[in-house]
Amino acid sequence: MKKGTASKVDAKSKKPKKTKRQKVKYPNLRKDLNLKTRRDYVTHHVYTDGVTSVTGEGEGIRALNDAELEWLNKFEGEYTNASVSQKEERLEDQLHNTKELAKDCTDRNNSRNRCLLNIAKSTNHLKFRSWEEFDQGTVAAFDGLDLEFAIIAGTSLLDKKEDDD
């Protein structure tokens, strides 16, 4: 257990209580059980239970069986959630079984954690607005700025203007 964290303990059995994520069979495949910064990257949840044909003819996409769901859960844990180890003795138990592949998973996660747009979306500080809603002064202020930064800064500027009105 990490220093400074307390886990809730069941009074009868003296065992730590299970979290929602620990109670579910395939937690990496559930959007609501992933961090907010990762939820946009979990997109396959639509297909795991199968999809009926759009035309009504034919089979569509069949549901995944337990072995396939287990593999996909492990893959998502490594690829999206960066649950990989770069130690030699643990590499062989992973799908990303070389140091380069494991490093790629952690680099991707670190990049996502630094992304301003991703952080703003996950903390509910981003409101999508059309360019028509911006006045010419605001658009001129964004000239030469990075578009991602301009969108986030524009949202906070518009919030301040709305508060003033």
The residues spanned by each domain of the chain are 123-165
pLDDT of residue 38: 83
Band of residue 126 on the pLDDT scale cut at 50, 70, 90? confident
- Model pTM greater than 0.85? no
pLDDT for position 94: 77
Give pLDDT, residue 84.
79
Give the tens place of pLDDT for each residue, 20-69: 888 889 888 888 888 888 888 887 767 787 788 777 777 778 888 899 88
What is d(CA 83, CA 94) in angstroms, rounded to the nearest whole number? 9
Burial class (CB in 10 A: 0-12, 13-18, 19+), 96: buried
**Rounded Cα distance, 48 and 28, in Å:** 12
Is the CB of residue 17 less than 8 Å from the CB of residue 7?
yes
Backbone angles phi, psi at 16, to 5 degrees: -60, 140
Mean pLDDT of 101-122: 85
pLDDT per position as a tens digit, 140-164: 776 766 666 666 665 555 555 555 5
d(CA 55, CA 69): 27
In angstroms and rounded to an integer, the radius of gyration of the C-alpha atoms of the chain is 22
- Does an H or E element contain 85, and which? none
Within the chain, residue ranges assigned H as helices are 20-23, 66-79, 88-91, 99-114, 116-122, 136-141, 147-164
How many other C-beta atoms are found inside a 10 Å radius of the C-beta of residue 158?
16
The predicted structure's pLDDT at residue 102: 81
pLDDT of the residue at 89:
72
pLDDT digits (tens, 9 = 90+) for 1-18: 455 455 566 566 677 888
